[in-house]
Structure 1
Amino acid sequence: MSKTEKALRKAIIAACREMNASGLNQGTAGNISARYKDRLLITPSGIPYDELEPEMIAALPLNGEYGAFEGPNKPSSEWRFHLDIAKARPEIGATVHTHAPYATTLAIARREIPACHYMVTAFGGAEIRCAPYRKFGSKELSEVALEALQGRKGCLLANHGMIAIGADLERAMWLAVELEALARHYYQALLIGGPVLLSQEEIAEAGELMSGYGLAVEQARDA
């Protein structure tokens, strides 16, 4: 195992512990994957994050036998949508899946998050879609998740949780946090009569500004 791969495995574990410590997830309900060369590194199934070691992270080939893996432990039960996202979206370097409280509450109600705040544009459009319910870990769940993620960097999964995707692990985690914040704001607005939604023009303007902001951040990181 190279130093670079080991560092990424450690970063995945750190991100898992961070999302539980912050309340973004509970127990081993969530899972995280990150692209490394021609493989997808993903958290194993059912192992508490505090017990994880870099060698326990499973590796799935991106171009080999579908579902094959390397490692001492089975990959997360949700490996299908992690792998399918990585294969369908080459610009995506990491996927974060959690059962965050507010996002999951909306998912249970099967509500998408509309244009209630300009930060929704960070996910690529005027709303964050909610994919229809499908059995966890199934091919069918992967299919509806991919559809809900078309042109987007996040979605809800009906009666399940949420997915956030990004160019790398840091950005995927940032979007996961933002998605939960948006879910909380929307939920709270519903309690006091419902939100006033932004217009198409306002969303388009915000989208342009967010695009420039994201570019500036990326350029600063690469400098």
Structure 2
Amino acid sequence: MTVPNDTAALRQSIIDACLWLNARGINQGTAGNVSVRVPDGMLITPSGIPYETMTPDMIVFMPLDRDPPIGLRPSSEWRFHQRLLAARPDMMAVVHAHPPYCSVLAVQRRAIPAVHYMIAAFGGHDVPLVPYSLFGGEELATNVAAAMAERHGCLMANHGATVLGESLDRALWRMEELETLARTYLFSAIGGAPHLLNRAQIDEALVAFASYGPRRNDG
């Protein structure tokens, strides 16, 4: 897997990803944040800057093993982005957002069970729920990294959702699929309980998903 270089085009692709999340209704305002692995560190969106006014030079570079450098502040959630990319060398991008249906489940403190075979896109038999911790803190970073040690997505109690991707494109694909799964789960309870797929059925889907979805490297 090729690690993309820190270029103006890659920085612009991060901004474009943020704008896409808002345009698709997956995120609102500046609530989300995006990071991409580069040699010797990561690029991450800055804190509190509207995506429409963000420019490539505002994207923050920081290492994966140290606090941010002095200068433009990275997203307040930089700790779990850093922790995830350091722990998962197989992943190139992290996307965090507050998708409406995912956020409803997060407020209800419900993981997403095997309501659909697309659950396999997230690397396991469900999409786990991370316990509540204050945003931007070490505890949240520790909990998110633990939940996603072998997964590609999670919900965060009373917060939102986070996904990993082998590329930025694939991370965005997973975030949209996660919001669709959350909506399906919520709506499937109307008029009765949803029928869940069993472990053997999800195991079969996990094998099939090894070569599923967009694979273009960003850079």
2-structure distance, mates of 1:13, 1:142: 23
Letter in 2 for 1:47: I
The equivalent of 1:131 in structure 2 is: 130
Letter in 2 for 1:69: P
1-structure distance, mates of 2:5, 2:90: 23
Q: After superposition, what is the alpha-carbon deviation per residue over 1:104-162, rounded to whole angstroms, capped at 9, x for unaligned?
A: 10000010000000000011011000000000000000011111112100000000000
User: After the TM superposition, which parts of structure 1 deviate over 3 Å for at least 4 consecutive aligned residues?
Assistant: none
SS in structure 1 at match of 2:12? helix
Bigger relative contact order (CA 8 A; separation at least 6):
2
Give the one of 38, 46, 49 matched to 1:44: 46
Q: How big is the alpha-carbon RMSD for the aligned residues of Structure 1 and Structure 2?
A: 1.7
Give the one of 53, 56, 72 matched to 2:55: 53
Q: 1:134 to 1:31 in 2, by over 3 A?
A: same
Q: TM-score, normalised by structure 1?
A: 0.91
Q: 1:117 to 1:3 in 2, by over 3 A?
A: closer
Give the one of 31, 34, 37 matched to 1:32: 34
2-structure distance, mates of 1:56, 1:131: 30
Confirm or deny: 8 A CA contact 2:99 2:160 kept in the other structure: yes
The equivalent of 2:25 in structure 1 is: 23
The equivalent of 1:69 in structure 2 is: 69
Determine what percentage of the aligned residue pairs are the same residue: 48
Q: 1:212 to 1:168 in 2, by over 3 A?
A: closer
2-structure distance, mates of 1:100, 1:154: 13
Correspondence list, 1:27-176, <5 A: 27-63=29-65, 66-69=66-69, 72-176=71-175
2-structure distance, mates of 1:103, 1:112: 10
SS in structure 2 at match of 1:44? coil
Letter in 2 for 1:75: P
Confirm or deny: 8 A CA contact 2:18 2:33 kept in the other structure: yes
CA apart distance, 1:204 = 1.2
Confirm or deny: 8 A CA contact 1:120 1:126 kept in the other structure: yes
Q: How many residues align?
A: 214
SS in structure 1 at match of 2:94? strand
Q: After superposition, what is the alpha-carbon deviation per residue over 1:141-187, rounded to whole angstroms, capped at 9, x for unaligned?
A: 00111111121000000000000101111111110111011001001
Gaps of 5+ in 2: none
CA apart distance, 1:62 = 2.1
SS in structure 1 at match of 2:189? helix
CA apart distance, 1:3 = 8.2
